[in-house]
């Protein structure tokens, strides 16, 4: 069988949860990436009627051997050359982490420039909401092999041993020790009163995109942020511009959703915010913690 490959790979493989109702997991990431011009291969790791935060939800997890076989099919696909990157999010089983790692290796063998973004969805301020072995697989297997990892601050706290990360300095040090070349930490402390930020630490830059905090936000912000940031970077934007623009998109959608009183992010209503955000987001250049270690 012969297939015609695109001149420049654009497809993204997204491996995450699927809900019938709502805008979390694959529902958020796939819509955002496709709206921004990226074909998506979507792999569900768990199927739910809605986010469990809304109440009891039937949980369907693919049988491990079947999931691994499906991922092997993708690895052997004649269209693998189309793939520019892999985004992994919520996983339903430890075996899925091993399958993701194998897929990323295969994609990189076909396209050495492919980008792997790992969103280690495992917990929030209330602690882990996945089994500890699954959280350990994310931390020990997937995060170290990622080009970019996008934990929230509470997930980073767990990965760093449980110490509270209450200030930007401690967040940056923990992020630098986590493994990947670039870390994006969501829910980072802000510098302005009532602010919250997305902190990006690259080998040479420490950047904070900050905006006002909104109480009781709907779920899916991390999924959306990881996808939009990935799209910006795949489009060739430098780290600072990609971070500021992606944060503006997510904040704008969040603010508009909250104003309407909706219980789910209304990404489809505010799709224009993905490509042309108008929200003002402050981008700050911080002192990189690595400078102190090199001194």
Q: Supply the pLDDT for residue 3.
A: 54
Architecture of domain 11-294: 3-Layer(aba) Sandwich (3.40)
Q: Supply the pLDDT for residue 295.
A: 46
Q: Supply the pLDDT for residue 293.
A: 56
pLDDT digits (tens, 9 = 90+) for 8-57: 899 999 999 999 999 999 999 999 999 999 999 999 999 999 998 899 98
Distance between CA 88 and CA 141 in Å, rounded? 12
pLDDT at 267 over 70: yes
pLDDT at 162 over 90: no
Q: Supply the pLDDT for residue 163.
A: 84
Stated pTM of the model:
0.95
Distance between CA 72 and CA 77 in Å, rounded? 9
Name the average pLDDT for the chain.
Answer: 94
Q: Supply the pLDDT for residue 4.
A: 56
pLDDT digits (tens, 9 = 90+) for 173-201: 999 998 899 999 999 999 999 999 999 99
3-state DSSP percent of the chain in helix, strand and coil, to 5: 40, 20, 40
The domain locations on the chain are 11-294
Q: Kindly write down the DSSP assignment for every residue of 181-208, as one continuous string.
A: SEEEEEEEEPSSTTEEEEEEE-SS-EEE
On whether the CB atoms of residues 218 and 263 are closer than 8 A, the answer is yes
pLDDT at 113 over 70: yes
Q: Supply the pLDDT for residue 292.
A: 60
**Percentage of the chain surpassing pLDDT 70?**
96
On whether the CB atoms of residues 143 and 179 are closer than 8 A, the answer is yes
């Amino acid at each position: 069988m012969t297939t015609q490959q695109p001149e420049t790979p654009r497809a993204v493989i997204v491996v995450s949860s699927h809900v019938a109702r709502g805008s979390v997991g694959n529902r958020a990431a796939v819509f955002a990436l496709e709206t921004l011009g990226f074909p998506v291969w979507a792999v569900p790791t768990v199927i739910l009627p809605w986010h469990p935060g809304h109440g009891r939800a039937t949980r369907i997890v693919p049988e491990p051997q079947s999931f691994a076989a499906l991922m092997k099919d993708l690895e052997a696909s004649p269209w693998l050359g189309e793939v520019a990157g892999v985004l992994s999010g919520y996983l339903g089983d430890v075996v899925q982490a091993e399958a993701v790692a194998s897929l990323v290796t295969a994609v990189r063998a076909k396209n050495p420039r492919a980008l792997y973004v790992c969103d280690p969805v495992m917990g929030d301020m209330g602690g882990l909401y996945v089994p500890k072995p699954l959280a350990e697989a994310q931390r020990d297997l997937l995060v170290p092999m990622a080009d970019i990892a996008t934990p929230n601050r509470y997930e980073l706290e767990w990965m760093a041993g449980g110490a509270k990360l209450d200030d930007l300095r401690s967040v940056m040090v923990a992020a630098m020790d986590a493994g990947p070349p670039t870390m994006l930490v969501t829910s980072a402390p802000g510098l302005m009163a009532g602010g919250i930020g997305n902190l990006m630490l690259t080998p040479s830059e420490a950047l904070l995109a900050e905006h006002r905090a909104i109480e009781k936000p709907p779920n899916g912000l991390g999924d959306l942020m990881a996808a939009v940031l990935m799209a910006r970077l795949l489009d060739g934007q430098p780290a600072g511009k990609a971070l500021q623009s992606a944060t503006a998109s997510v904040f704008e959608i969040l603010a508009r959703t909250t104003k309407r009183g909706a219980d789910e992010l209304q990404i489809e209503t505010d799709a224009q915010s993905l490509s042309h955000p108008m929200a003002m987001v402050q981008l700050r250049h911080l002192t990189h913690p690595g400078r102190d270690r090199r001194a």
